[in-house]
């Protein structure tokens, strides 16, 4: 099946009562509901989709000098997509950053919606990875900040 992931950062300043009263419940230029939105499809045919709550995620990668790194990040929600070729795609989210999730069946497969809270900063170093800045490894945060400038 095709699995689409939709991630939205909910604006903590959004006022639904104001939107209801003055704009038929819709957001306006000065009352924005979502600060940003990401949407992507998991690459490959997903045969099993699982949500793992309260787990530890192992963040692996390479430093710019090609040395390997590996950091354990606790208190995560990890979406686990098993593909028809047996490989597994993991999509990690800091549990404390999530305000709500919703799984919706579609004609092609499913869409999984994740709404993130905007009250704490989230680091998004690559597609499908959303980790609270406070939980992100400090030495990687320095590299991430350099790339953003």
Q: Give Cβ neighbours of residue 34 (< 8 Å, ≥ 6 apart).
A: 8, 9, 10, 11, 27
Residue 110 DSSP SS3? strand
Q: What is the pLDDT of residue 86?
A: 96
Q: Looking up tokens 């869409």, which residue turns up? A: 111
Query: What are the two backbone dihedrals, phi and then psi, of residue 106, each rounded to the nearest 5 degrees?
Result: -125, 175
Those residues of the chain that have pLDDT short of 50 are: 146, 148-149
Q: What is the pLDDT of residue 146?
A: 46
Q: What is the pLDDT of residue 148?
A: 47
Burial class (CB in 10 A: 0-12, 13-18, 19+), 125: middle
Q: What is the pLDDT of residue 149?
A: 40
Query: What are the two backbone dihedrals, phi and then psi, of residue 118, each rounded to the nearest 5 degrees?
Result: -95, 5
The DSSP code sequence of 125-139 is: -STT-BEEGGGS-HH
Q: What is the pLDDT of residue 15?
A: 66
Cβ distance 104 to 111 under 8 Å? yes
12 forms beta bridges with: none
Alpha helices per DSSP H over the chain: 16-22, 138-148
Query: What are the two backbone dihedrals, phi and then psi, of residue 29, each rounded to the nearest 5 degrees?
Result: -60, -35
Q: What is the pLDDT of residue 144?
A: 66
Q: What is the pLDDT of residue 17?
A: 79
């Amino acid at each position: 099946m095709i699995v689409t992931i939709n991630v939205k950062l909910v604006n903590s300043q959004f006022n639904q009562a104001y939107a209801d009263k003055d704009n038929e419940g819709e957001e306006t230029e000065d009352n924005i509901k979502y600060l940003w939105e990401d949407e992507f499809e998991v690459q490959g045919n997903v045969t099993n989709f699982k949500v793992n709550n309260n787990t530890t995620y192992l963040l692996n990668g390479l430093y710019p000098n090609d040395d390997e790194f590996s950091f354990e990040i606790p208190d995560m929600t990890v979406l686990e997509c098993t593909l028809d070729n047996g490989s597994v795609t993991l999509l990690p989210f800091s549990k404390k950053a999530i305000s709500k999730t919703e799984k919706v069946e579609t004609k092609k497969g499913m869409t999984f919606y994740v709404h993130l809270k905007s009250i704490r900063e989230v680091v998004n170093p690559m597609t499908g990875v959303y980790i609270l800045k406070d939980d992100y490894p400090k030495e990687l945060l320095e590299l991430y900040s350099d790339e953003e400038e």
